[in-house]
Structure 1
Amino acid sequence: MVIAGVSLLAWVWLVAGQGGFWRTDVRLPARAPLERWPSVAVVVPARDEAGVLGTSLPSLLAQDYPGHAEVFLVDDGSTDGTGDLARALAERHGGLALTVTSPGEPPAGWTGKLWAVRHGIALAGERTGAEFLLLTDADIAHEPDSLRELTAAAVSADLDMVSLMARLRVETGWERLIVPAFVYFFAQLYPFRWINRAGSRTAAAAGGCVLIRASAVAAAGVPDSIRQSVIDDVALARAVKRSGGRIWLGLAERVDSVRPYPDLGELWRMVSRSAYAQLRHNPAVLLGTVLGLALIYLVPPVAAVGGAVAGAWPLCALGFAAWAVMTASYLPMLRYYGQRWWLAPTLPYTAALYLLMTVDSAVEHYRGRGAAWKGRTYARPDASL
């Protein structure tokens, strides 16, 4: 009874006091027509992305942007012909100018993506002197007005960094079960309204779509200052905010990820590769996270069903109430992803999967295979310095 009561109180507090994390109405700030459109360099780090580049890159080249914009694709040691495909797509589709470059293998102490981003930013600065940089992943497709809307929002609201959480693919059964919950959990951990509030210490970004001022990049010393970060988008946001920059994060309407996750294994690797890094590789934090997930997500259905079976109706009522609050808080995210309402009560099952993914991430870390991505494995940040 006590545990079930604490779980219910936790849900009441989360829904009422955690920055309205469950709401899905945080979209781009109001945009005003610009008299002058700043120059933008689009930097795309890409490693073995031939499978998705045919959809994403043409969408960048087709950007309807009134100012000067160029695309810099940084081929990070691909073995599948990513660079050659990018050149062929540019010849076929035209549009914005494309430069394909390669930085070579990252030196010790750098993640591959951030080394590629560093190379792309430096080259863009030499070639264009762009005022803004759009850092976008190779699996992200943009509607033709995406760059224009992002830039107008940044200038109109005087923001140093604007990031959109791209709408992830939800076509397979596993994607429907796990993907909306991924964004829901992210927003619960980093409430968008707290991130966007001036003076708030909460900072996060969505690495698939980040528009940032070149001056903010210089002021924050990025990516050099975050060169070891596996969760680079959150590290980038923190660095920009610490340096005095104004950041903003919201849900996308016209920016989509085209990367498929056809089975549970692919989704499992997406989460587990960085879950323990999110917990700062700390066993005590891992234990607290596991207990917290169990209390918040697993206790309600266990209390509701177990109480009903045992005839302990007060326990059943507490569990059902907590489960109902949880379910109601998940419905807006399901609607955002165009999913059926009946998936909402399954959130405890999905949370159990995430709990197991987190534990697996820690196990893989201690086996020396943590934070593995496309043939590279990264040690703890302090292990190579």
Structure 2
Amino acid sequence: MSNIPPLDLKRQYQAIGADVSAAVLEVLASGAYIGGPLVKNFEQQFATYIGTAECVGCNSGTDALYLALRAMNIGAGDEVITTPFTFIATAETISGVGAKPVFVDIDLATFNLDLTQLAAAITPRTKAIMPVHLFGNPVDMTELMSIAAQYNLVVIEDCAQATGAKWQGQPVGRIGHFGCFSFFPTKNLGACGDGGAITVNDPGLADDLRMLREHGSRERYYHEAIGVNSRLDAIQAAILQVKLPHLDLWNQQRATVASRYHQLLANIPGIITPQATPGGESAWNQYTIRVVAPVGMDTADPRDRLPTLRDRVRASLLEAGAIAMIYYPLPLHLQSVYADLGYAVGSFPNAERVSQEVLSLPMFPELTVEEQQRVVYALKDAIDTCR
């Protein structure tokens, strides 16, 4: 019996492969590989999908965050608030512009920023908030935008895992001042390589973003800022144009998969299923459970990398042919690269706790009922064996 992968892009390609191949061959035949009408067309289509006036394509979701920070002149001496429980790219871009990442703990139910702790982290140096719609689950953007407005802060939404997610009916990426998206192949709308985009309503900021992504140049060979080379390739834009019309259906299928997991996992002791933010519609990039150890078990320092109950359950699942993933085993505030920020174990207990408990089960639109049942049966056996 074959393994059940965390994601199977081959199945997606089998469904739309002919259209993707034709689009790629058309680009190759055109000779226009960088920029050009295909990229502009995709930018317009994606802006329409999100509901913003502008979309600026770039090389990656990481670059999208970096360019948004640069467009707001955020740099040395400034602070940007974000979550410690996310991929390092979120904080890395803040450091990359010379600013200081300031972390706020997460909500145990949603894995997103605990907005009740946000105001306490704001100082005179705070310039922006970078919420992460983690695993596709939207942050409460109504409350966050209210706090940001009170303190006159820029909001840069990290939508890397949340393309198509909605907050109170609005797509994420249109609510903050910037929406930053990744088109990495594992994302809900994935290219066949790296790619990213920034959505924004201000045409002036969009123009600045385009200048920064083109070596700080609005006119070729004339440079007004130190920029970067961060362009969305035409081949990737062509692939994304083929995929975009399918995104809503794929997200609906992900929601169906999530609903089935909810039902199948409902009565397993020691498992906490993911909770959507009330008022939000998750894009379900991941289905991430918590494997909760009995009291007194698995209380080691996360930096010691000692096997937890979650790790043992994952190993048992793998033996049964179900491949689960861990995002993320060590929160950012405990990473050695951020030792100089002075955070210690216990600074953000919720982030530290879930880093030792989270386990992302196979999740993709084409996952079958039978495969999900296999995953859950294997999970039940693993829990019984490992506890």
Normalization by structure 1: what TM-score? 0.28
More helix by share: 1
